[in-house]
Chains A and B, each alone.
Chain A
Amino acid sequence: MNSKSYSLFLKDFKSELRTRYAINALAMFIIVAISVILFSVGNEKISASLTGGLFWVVIFFTAMSGLSRAFVSEEERGTALTLQLIAAPSTVFSGKLIFNIILVFAMNTVIAVLYSAMFEAFVIQNFALFLTSFVFGNIGLAVSSTIIAAIIAKAGAKGTLYPVLSFPILLPLILTSVQLTLFAIDGISFERAKFELAIVVSYDVIMLTASYMLFDFIWKE
């Protein structure tokens, strides 16, 4: 992380504060997604394990609605070429990644708070485990969705293609995170969730490495 990628992040952050496009879209999407689930549940009592799965459904679709902005906006505004001139590919990727990680953390914190307020069955017994899996899950989500967003932006900003391309890549992370959330709901100790946590961490590392190695090819295209 050098100062250039930090200033790139600051640029994204400021332009986001000016237009508030991604923040507004994400906030509205969270409300829509949670209320759809609330309406479809109705007066039914849903089990704690089902809320754990639905939690990640909301996270996945919210991420898919807003995270492609990072690169799509550069292509739309025609500023991608300028960026190519002034910064190395890895710098650009770092800047976009920091922005998306912060966006994912903000978004998922809001989802978690709203979600636990709306669903009585969603009670976390082992909060430390939930927090750990939440942090590593968010990083993995941000990394994968950033690199797919770069592909999408070059492919002509096909919005519908984004979840289609991301889902198979995110599937190992989502399945493991659902499992970890269920563990946290059941109050299972760190010792027994060690294997699942190791999967999430290794997913993050592998995806981060692969993204940095492959981003050059996408960016120069």
Chain B
Amino acid sequence: MIWKIFLFLLLAFVSIAGIGFPIVEKPSAWYEFPLIPGLEENAKIIFFHVPTAWLTVIAFFMSTIYSFKYLRKKNLDDDVKSYAAAQLGMIFCILATVTGAVWAKFAWGSYWSWDPRQTSIFALLLIYGAWFALRSSIESEEKRATLSSVYSMIAFVTVPFFIFVMPRIMSGLHPGSADDSNAGPVVDFKMNGNMQLIFFLSLIGFTILYFWMWNVGYRSILVREKLNKQLIRG
């Protein structure tokens, strides 16, 4: 119970600080953020965009790890854990895409420009979408668990291509364009101490939130399945 209050306070503080603290040219007080050239007020979205993108990746990894575990042990609980992680991953993936598009609108001038990172998050959305479509098409529990586990393993081996390879390919597609992120202000941003502190607090807070939600999510699915079985047995 105590850590839930702590989490609430942490996230409340991060939200208030992330949105409310002013950005000034020369920060002197502890609650002032530095002005980053090229980003200005847009910089604040970093407290919410980066954690969602980070959790998308964490959820995807966890979903794959539990899929792998299912294939080895054939324990249906692992499949439920994988499913709960993917559900959250989908939510955070949509959030990361939307916050990223909003940020891109103000930093690069358009919501969507097929930047390498945008392409990779789009591919991740497609993978999640296909995964849920596959799951919903199969009736039998074991079959669904096996086939979706195999699919998530196959999808997982393509991820290095999106993370390491696409940036080189995509920059070749539109060289020297205005929305080329490699030269933009996003990569070499400079944060001062208090900005970094709130950034990492936000990362920690959202990660704890994710693990809590995941825990509640998979346990509720397990309880529901147990009740369903009791109902069938009469």
Q: Which residues of A contact B (CB under 8 A)?
A: 147-148, 151, 154-156, 158, 161, 164-165, 167-169, 171-172, 175-176, 179, 195-196, 199, 203, 206-207, 210-211, 214, 217-218, 221
Contact = CB atoms under 8 A, between A and B. Distances in A.
A208 B188 CA distance: 38
Interface stretch (B21-29, B81-89, B132-140): B132-140
Nearest to A176: B169
Contacts of A218: 146-147, 150
Given A179-B169, A214-B154, A221-B142, 10 more contacts: A148-B154, A151-B150, A161-B134, A168-B127, A171-B158, A172-B166, A179-B172, A207-B154, A207-B157, A218-B150
A164 B138 contact: no
B125 to A, nearest CB: 9
B57 to A, nearest CB: 16
Contacts of B98: none
B151 interface: yes
B161 A161 contact: no
Given A158-B137, A203-B161, A165 B130 contact: yes
Contacts of B162: 171-172
Q: Which label, helix, strand, loop or mixed, suits the secondary structure of the A interface?
A: helix
18 contacts: A154-B143, A156-B138, A161-B137, A164-B133, A167-B126, A168-B126, A168-B155, A168-B158, A169-B155, A171-B158, A172-B166, A199-B169, A207-B154, A214-B154, A217-B146, A218-B150, A221-B143, A221-B146
B63 interface: no
A12 B180 CA distance: 49
B10 interface: no
Contact of B133 (A161, A196, A210): A161
A196 B150 contact: no
Contacts of A147: 154
A189 to B, nearest CB: 15
B68 to A, nearest CB: 11
A211 B142 CA distance: 20
Nearest to B145: A221
Nearest to A166: B130
Nearest to A207: B157
Contact of A196 (B126, B153, B169): B169
Interface in B150-208: 150-151, 153-155, 157-158, 161-162, 165-166, 168-169, 172-173
B126 A171 contact: yes
Contacts of B154: 147-148, 169, 207, 210-211, 214
Interface string B120-131: 000100110110
A151 B158 contact: no
Contacts of B149: 217
B221 interface: no
Nearest to A163: B130
B71 interface: yes
Contacts of A151: 134, 147, 150-151
Cβ-closest 5 pairs across A and B: A172-B161, A168-B126, A168-B127, A165-B130, A210-B157
A199 B161 contact: yes
A154 B71 CA distance: 16
B123 A171 contact: yes
